[in-house]
Chain A
């Protein structure tokens, strides 16, 4: 390789290397702030956040109850549980033992009042016959 081309290649590698180091430093500084939601065990039960947050986890098996127009359920990350209350229609994929993400805030009694509920689905795809 001709010397001036070698020099250009070195410059490109330098540019690429410094860009990656820069972005790595930014991302490690931001770390979990880039998470879309908190999981139940990330919250301090004695000092629940007052602002609106997003919570995510699994809907605990057998915990879904319907009361008038409200849906009550327990969100778990298999370490901590939280009571959730949602007044509205959850998406079709919202079900027990399945992931969910919700936006809302805590009321005075430690119950999370969701304004919106989203269903998370996993990366497994299979025909209905095989899943039974």
Chain B
């Protein structure tokens, strides 16, 4: 690829223009799919043999937990792009994704607590899965706070990117915590290697919820990134002439 193409993709202006052009193609499906996914999960899918209807919070808990981790991996990739190529857009997107990550990690913890009350009989235990997810939540919070604490924006971008990459060590721990240690949390129901231990009638709506969450979070991330980019580039002419 020539530098010209890279520069075009790396420009915040092109990013905003592309987002504006295609936003509705992500936003409208996100609303339709999440209503479909949740309705399917809550009204159509059968109750669970052991947990009855209380298992239905899985349709919020599992998508939130997946994206809580996935967003962090994406942020780490953007951080590496920022640190190596000094692409400012990558740093803007890392900061934007941190807000979305903070929200879904909160949802994962919150929905897990609600689920824990009727099933486990407790809303919180310091087991490895729950604690490492709390650490992920604090990482997102810490990254945002660190970035906000500098007047020098380049320094803020640098340090946030370095900390994001160091924080990656937590991700395999979250993933493997239920296998490495004894926890109250059960092991994964859906893995890449084995057949899912969840009945297809419950699995399909779950997959739809996971997909719809992707659309919802991209829409959310785009809106957050617009605020951040306009704020960071407010003295540039293209922002002044925007809209």
Contacts and interface: CB of A to CB of B under 8 A. Distances in A.
Nearest to A91: B121
A94 to B, nearest CB: 7
A interface residue count range (under 10 / 10 to 19 / 20 to 34 / 35 or more): 35 or more
Contacts of A91: 118-121
Max chain A C-beta neighbours (<10 A), residue from B58, B127, B169: B169
Contact of B49 (A11, A20, A36, A130): A130
Given A5-B84, A119-B121, 4 more contacts: A19-B169, A91-B119, A121-B120, A126-B48
B201 to A, nearest CB: 6
A17 B186 CA distance: 30
B51 A127 contact: no
A5 B80 CA distance: 11
Interface string A83-96: 00000001111100
B2 interface: no
B122 interface: yes
B29 interface: no
A12 interface: yes
A79 interface: no
Contact of B184 (A8, A19, A118, A129): A118
A37 B165 CA distance: 32
A101 to B, nearest CB: 6
B241 interface: no
Contact of B121 (A9, A117, A131): A117
A129 B46 CA distance: 10
Interface of B: 46-51, 55, 58, 80, 83-85, 118-122, 125-128, 162, 165-166, 168-169, 173, 180-184, 186-189, 197-199, 201-202
A101 B66 CA distance: 26
Contact of A34 (B47, B50, B121, B181): B181
Contacts of A111: none
Given A12-B80, A36-B128, A118-B121, A124 B181 contact: no
A125 interface: yes
A68 interface: no
A56 interface: yes
A35 B182 contact: yes
Given A5-B85, A9-B84, A91-B121, A123 B50 contact: no
Contacts of A121: 50-51, 119-120, 186
Given A91-B121, A117-B121, A36 B47 contact: no
A127 B182 contact: no
Contacts of B168: 16, 19
5 contacts: A34-B180, A117-B121, A118-B184, A124-B189, A128-B49
Given A36-B125, A93-B51, A128-B46, A122 B182 contact: no
Which are the 10 A-B pairs with shortest beta-carbon distances? A91-B121, A127-B46, A131-B49, A36-B127, A125-B198, A35-B182, A23-B169, A123-B189, A126-B199, A123-B186
